[in-house]
Structure 1
Amino acid sequence: MNIQLPDAVTLFFEISNGADPSRVADCFAVDANVIDEEKKHQGIKAIESWQRQVREAFSFTVTPLSASSAGNHLTVEARIVGDFPGSPLELDHLFVLKNDRIQSLEIRP
Structure 2
Amino acid sequence: MSISLPDSVATFFQVSNGAAPSALRRAFSEKSVVHDEGQTYQGHEEIEAWLAEAQRKYAYRVEPLTAVQDDAGVTVVARYVGNFPGTPADLNHVFRLTDNQIDFLKIH
| TM-score bracket for this pair, using the shorter chain length | over 0.9
Question: Using the alignment, how far apart are the partners of 1:95 and 1:83 within structure 2?
Answer: 25
In structure 1, the partner of 2:32 is: 32
Normalising by the residue count of structure 1, what TM-score does the alignment of the two structures yield?
0.95
RMSD: 0.9
1:10 is aligned to 2:7: no
Question: Using the alignment, how far apart are the partners of 2:49 and 2:2 within structure 1?
Answer: 30
Question: Using the alignment, how far apart are the partners of 1:53 and 1:107 within structure 2?
Answer: 15
Letter in 1 for 2:60: F
Same amino acid, percent of matched pairs? 41
| Long gaps (5+) in structure 1 | none
Alpha-carbon deviation of 1:57? Answer: 1.0
Question: Using the alignment, how far apart are the partners of 1:99 and 1:15 within structure 2?
Answer: 20
Contact 1:72 1:98 survives alignment (8 Å): no
In structure 2, the partner of 1:92 is: 92
Q: Deviations over 1:13-41 (max 9, x none)?
A: 00111112232101000000100011000
Moved over 6 A (4+): none
Q: Which deviates further from its counterpart, 17-26 or 39-48?
A: 17-26
Count matched residues: 108
Normalising by the residue count of structure 2, what TM-score does the alignment of the two structures yield?
0.95
Aligned to 1:105, the other structure's residue is in SS state strand
Question: Using the alignment, how far apart are the partners of 1:8 and 1:94 within structure 2?
Answer: 13
In structure 1, the partner of 2:61 is: 61
Letter in 1 for 2:102: I
Aligned to 1:63, the other structure's residue is in SS state strand
